[in-house]
Amino acid sequence: MAADYDLDDRAQRLLRELVKAYTRDGHPVPSRTLLKLSRLDVSSATVRNIMVRLEQMGLVAQPHTSAGRVPTAAGYRFFIDSLLEVKDPDPEAREALSAELSPSKTTRDLVHTATDLLSNMTRLAGVISVSRPPQIEVRHLEFMKLTDRRVLVILVINSDQVHNRVIQVDREYSELELSEAARLIGQYLIGSDFNQALARLREEIRQHRDDVADILESTLKVMGAVCGESERDELLTAGESNLLQFAELQDIHKLQELFEVFQQKRELLHLLEGCADAEGVQIFIGSESGYDVLQDCSVVSAPYRIGDEVLGVLGVIGPTRIAYDRIIPAVDMTAKILSSALNSSD
């Protein structure tokens, strides 16, 4: 951490300029370039000596003997903790984000939109976790008759999650029979926690050996699948292809492993879950994430809330060479505006 290093003003200034230059260009930075950027009134030899000391501390590295230097993960950490000057969010970006994250949208639409907007705004891969709600409440159930012994089940759970599923039944049902089946299921489930009401409903179906038993059983299977999906934490991603623009991530084997992580989602979800209790923005650089596949990446994340309850965590993933001064406020702003929209819509 930053407190472990004792750097004078000249060393801090040179490290700051090195990080900024490498972030901008992606090339090792020579000492003579650092001297020009820092505008220090010292000799080139002094700059080289300071760079040697920073390298011995593990804050910078020299990829090749004749090349300049690049910041290490420890160097980035010191930069973020001690030297970073975070930029104010762009007012136009804030206004556009607020307009897109309208409280009139459903929770699911807001979360999907936030992921896409964050990825587009940062030109990195956007990720967002959606934690399972404390209970699954069925708000509305409706049947719509289709053709060929098929029935559309319209199910609303919690405040705004609408699910449509088509079920196949053994015979044609009249509108009256469908209405009766919906009424029978509804009297057990509407306004109740699904898991608590499930046992009573199953017992009712076992005893209901009449003409609507078939549709009751089929509907229960659908509802069990839908509510089971809602009970699992979910991870949404966007803009993974943005990572292809960075030369340091284009090793074919590393890229395959990285994209597998996005596809499987388990490790990313676990990482974001660990950020749920954080206050504000949390940053993982390289190995700080605990995952080898993210060794060359940084994760910038922030939780979003409904009231005092954390609903999930959003963030971006990119190489360690990202513009932290711009990315950190973008993630923070998105989390706050999403939280505001969710609380307004709730």
| Domain end point (choices 49, 66, 83) | 83
Residues 158 and 183 in one domain: yes
Domain span at residue 111 reads 91-131+233-345
pLDDT score at 50: 95
Residues 264 and 308 in one domain: yes
10 Å CB burial of residue 154 (0-12, 13-18, 19+) is middle
Residues 306 and 326 in one domain: yes
Q: What is the pLDDT of residues 182-240, one digit of tens each?
A: 887 787 777 776 666 666 776 666 666 566 667 777 777 777 666 655 445 588 999 99
| Domain end point (choices 202, 231, 260) | 231
Are the beta carbons of 204 and 83 closer than 8 angstroms? no
User: What is the C-alpha to C-alpha distance for residues 118 and 293, in angstroms, rounded to an integer?
Assistant: 22
Tell me how many domains the chain contains: 3
pLDDT score at 199: 67
Residues 125 and 238 in one domain: yes
Would you state the structure tokens that stand for residue 177, as one six-digit string? Answer: 């029979």
Are the beta carbons of 131 and 310 closer than 8 angstroms? yes
pTM attached to this predicted model: 0.73
Residues 237 and 99 in one domain: yes
Residues 263 and 317 in one domain: yes
CATH number reported for the structural domain that contains residue 238 in this entry: 3.30.450.40
Would you state the structure tokens that stand for residue 253, as one six-digit string? Answer: 């084997």
Residues 159 and 32 in one domain: no
Q: Tell me the β-bridge partners of 310.
A: 305
Residues 118 and 244 in one domain: yes
pLDDT score at 210: 60
Helices (H), 39-162: 44-56, 73-78, 91-100, 107-122
Residues 273 and 339 in one domain: yes
Residues 340 and 253 in one domain: yes
pLDDT score at 231: 46
DSSP secondary structure of 170-214: SS---HHHHHHHHHHHHHHHBTSBHHHHHHHHHHHHHH--STTHH
Are the beta carbons of 233 and 131 closer than 8 angstroms? yes
Give percent of the chain with pLDDT exceeding 70. Answer: 86
Q: Minimum mean pLDDT among 2-11, 110-119, 193-202, 272-281: which range?
A: 193-202
Count of residues making up the chain: 346
Would you state the structure tokens that stand for residue 94, as one six-digit string? Answer: 């804030």
Residues 70 and 125 in one domain: no
Residues 50 and 96 in one domain: no
Q: Report the chain's terminal Cα–Cα distance, integer Å.
A: 40
Are the beta carbons of 338 and 115 closer than 8 angstroms? no
Are the beta carbons of 113 and 314 closer than 8 angstroms? no
Are the beta carbons of 101 and 117 closer than 8 angstroms? yes
| Domain end point (choices 231, 258, 292) | 231
pLDDT score at 3: 47
**Confidence category of residue 2, pLDDT binned at 50, 70, 90:** very low
**Confidence category of residue 133, pLDDT binned at 50, 70, 90:** low
Would you state the structure tokens that stand for residue 36, as one six-digit string? Answer: 């020009």
Are the beta carbons of 243 and 262 closer than 8 angstroms? no
Coil, helix or strand for 277?
coil
Report whether pLDDT(158) > 60.
yes
User: What is the C-alpha to C-alpha distance for residues 70 and 228, in angstroms, rounded to an integer?
Assistant: 48
Helices (H), the chain: 9-25, 31-38, 44-56, 73-78, 91-100, 107-122, 175-189, 194-207, 213-231, 252-264, 266-273, 324-345
Report whether pLDDT(119) > 90.
yes
pLDDT score at 220: 72
Coil, helix or strand for 90?
coil
Between 96 and 137, the more confident residue is: 96
- Which helix or strand (DSSP H or E) is residue 142 part of? strand 138-145
Q: Mean pLDDT, to the nearest integer, of 125-138? A: 77
Report CA Rg, the chain: 27
CATH number reported for the structural domain that contains residue 27 in this entry: 1.10.10.10
Which residues, at least 6 apart from 78, have a Cβ–Cβ distance to it below 8 Å?
1, 2, 5, 7, 15, 59
pLDDT score at 84: 93
Pairing of strands 150-157, 138-145: antiparallel
